[in-house]
């Protein structure tokens, strides 16, 4: 059954453009999501300085991301128990505030244990934003605009991928430590959350308690398992490949690290506007043909990345990254179409942690195992091939009003 907010939207005509009143929360939510992502992705270029400052071992430095991811997955799944008790708006504000506080605590850490605790808290703080953020976006605008709005929202992590290394380089040029970077990120997150609390518009709807009925409804929604597979593939093609690419390009292809970093940044710049373009096309032609095209092109680039000679690998990289970033907003749009507002946050809280664990965890781990046996290119070929085999699942998605 539609929520009260969506019932009001259904009674209104669907204009071709968004009103200023609708753009206000979209901008706020995209900004909050940006700092949510930047707070986690931004730790990667800071690791060398953190390792030296706190005398961390390689395993301790790499383990910080494991702690962040663990906290993120736990809170993302646990958010299904919070949305029945708190409004989406309150959870979004709380997430922004908690991310800011966690970053400030991590910046003040004087030892390994305190920093590790800050990373767990950072993951926990970031995880319960996404279900409420998606529910708010789809609840504040009519269904006619879901593709565009979710595409705009997905610009946040793509921008974070670009800004994170640039920000670290800028602060290093000003002779500021990694602690100052975290202070700036944390302060910005706090300011944005407080501003959203004071001036941002949100929805006050709550979801049904996550009882057996909701889980049964979720399991009996035929599109959900298919959407879960699409999310896993999208996560693997996007973040899973991105994590392992520097190792492949430097050690397998013999490309110097500076050139590698430049091309990775260029590929992300090229991919930056693709989610918005994909959302616009999805609103015009429907999400299914667009997500089919995005997965096909990204899988094609991934498959040939391990086989193309010389500089041709950059073409595969740009194709893979540019198409891959379109998958997530389209998956969210399809999920919004096949779920009610009451179970939509539950669906996000179940599907996304699974995709995060398998796509960004198992995929690079599996490719890394193959790399140990000198079969780096086989790992990319397998991921691309599995994606090709799963494409017919998209045809099984039925249109639902």
Q: How far apart are CA 27 and CA 22, in angstroms?
A: 9
Q: How far apart are CA 195 and CA 192, in angstroms?
A: 5
Q: Which helix (H) or strand (E) holds 273?
A: none
Q: At CB < 8 A and 24+ separation, what contacts does 61-65 make?
A: 63/116, 64/115, 64/116, 64/119
Kindly list the averaged pLDDT for each block of 10 residues, start to end, along the chain of length 401: 50 59 82 90 76 75 75 84 83 94 93 90 90 83 77 82 80 81 94 88 64 76 88 87 76 76 79 82 86 93 85 86 86 82 76 82 78 82 94 76 38
Q: What is the DSSP string of 52-76?
A: HHTT--HHHHHHHHHHHHHHHHHHH
Domain boundaries, the chain: 20-206, 211-396
Question: Is the separation of the CB atoms in 102 and 186 below 8 Å?
Answer: yes
Closest CA to 130 of 169, 178, 76: 76
* SS3 state at 272: coil
Q: In the structure encoding, which two tokens stand for residue 187, read together? A: 């302060």
For the chain, the C-alpha Rg in angstroms (whole number) is 21
Q: Note the pLDDT of residue 401.
A: 38
Q: How far apart are CA 149 and CA 158, in angstroms?
A: 15
Question: Is the separation of the CB atoms in 313 and 294 below 8 Å?
Answer: no
Q: Note the pLDDT of residue 349.
A: 75
Q: Note the pLDDT of residue 257.
A: 64
A 10 A CB-CB count for 17 gives 8
Closest CA to 127 of 190, 176, 46, 71: 71
Q: How far apart are CA 38 and CA 261, in angstroms?
A: 18
Dihedral-angle region of residue 43 (phi above 0 means left; psi in -120 to 50 means alpha; beta otherwise):
alpha
Half-sphere exposure (CA, 13 Å, Cβ side) for 75?
23
Question: Is the separation of the CB atoms in 287 and 334 below 8 Å?
Answer: yes
A 10 A CB-CB count for 310 gives 7
The second-level CATH assignment, the architecture, of 211-396 is: Up-down Bundle (1.20)
Fold agreement (20-206, 211-396): yes
Question: Is the separation of the CB atoms in 195 and 101 below 8 Å?
Answer: no
> CB neighbours of 310 closer than 8 A, spacing ≥ 6?
none
Q: Note the pLDDT of residue 10.
A: 47
CATH H superfamily, domain 20-206: MFS general substrate transporter like domains (1.20.1250.20)
Q: How far apart are CA 41 and CA 326, in angstroms?
A: 19
> CB neighbours of 339 closer than 8 A, spacing ≥ 6?
218, 221, 224, 347
Q: Which helix (H) or strand (E) holds 213?
A: helix 212-219
Half-sphere exposure (CA, 13 Å, Cβ side) for 365?
8
Question: Is the separation of the CB atoms in 297 and 278 below 8 Å?
Answer: no
Question: Is the separation of the CB atoms in 324 and 243 below 8 Å?
Answer: no
Q: Note the pLDDT of residue 386.
A: 94
Backbone angles phi, psi at 44, to 5 degrees: -60, -55
């Amino acid at each position: 059954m539609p929520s009260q907010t969506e019932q009001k939207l259904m009674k209104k005509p669907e204009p071709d453009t968004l009103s200023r009143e609708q753009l206000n929360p979209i901008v706020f939510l995209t900004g909050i999501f940006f700092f949510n992502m930047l707070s986690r992705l931004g730790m990667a270029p800071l690791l060398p300085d953190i390792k030296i400052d706190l005398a961390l071992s390689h395993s301790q430095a790499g383990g910080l991301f494991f702690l962040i991811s663990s906290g993120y997955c736990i809170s993302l799944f646990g958010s299904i128990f919070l949305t029945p008790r708190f409004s989406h708006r309150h959870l979004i504000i709380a997430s922004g505030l908690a991310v800011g506080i966690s970053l400030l605590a991590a910046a003040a850490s004087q030892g390994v244990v305190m920093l590790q605790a800050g990373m767990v808290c950072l993951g926990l703080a970031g995880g319960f934003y996404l279900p409420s953020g998606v529910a708010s976006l789809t609840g504040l605008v009519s269904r006619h605009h879901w593709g565009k709005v979710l595409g705009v929202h997905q610009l946040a992590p793509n921008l974070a991928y670009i800004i994170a290394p640039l920000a670290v380089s800028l602060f290093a040029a000003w002779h500021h430590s990694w602690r100052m970077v975290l202070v700036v990120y944390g302060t910005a997150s706090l300011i944005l959350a407080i501003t959203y609390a004071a001036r941002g518009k949100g929805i006050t709807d709550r979801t049904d308690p996550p009882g057996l009925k909701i889980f049964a409804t979720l399991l009996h929604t035929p599109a959900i398992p298919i959407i879960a597979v699409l999310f896993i593939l999208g996560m693997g093609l996007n973040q899973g490949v991105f994590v392992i690419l520097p190792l492949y390009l430097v050690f397998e292809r013999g490309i110097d690290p500076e050139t590698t970093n430049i091309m990775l940044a260029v590929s992300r710049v090229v991919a930056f506007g693709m989610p918005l373009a994909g959302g616009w096309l999805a609103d015009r032609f429907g999400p299914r043909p667009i997500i089919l095209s995005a997965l096909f092109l990204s899988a094609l680039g991934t498959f040939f990345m391990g086989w193309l000679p010389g500089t041709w690998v950059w073409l595969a990289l740009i194709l893979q990254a540019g198409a891959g970033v379109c998958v997530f907003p389209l998956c969210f749009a399809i999920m919004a179409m096949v779920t009610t507002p009451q179970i939509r946050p539950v669906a996000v809280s179940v599907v996304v942690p699974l995709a995060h664990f398998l796509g960004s965890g198992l995929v690079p781990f599996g490719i890394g195992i193959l790399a140990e046996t000198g079969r780096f290119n086989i790992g990319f070929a397998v991921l691309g091939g599995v994606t090709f085999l799963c494409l017919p699942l998209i045809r099984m998605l039925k249109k639902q009003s």
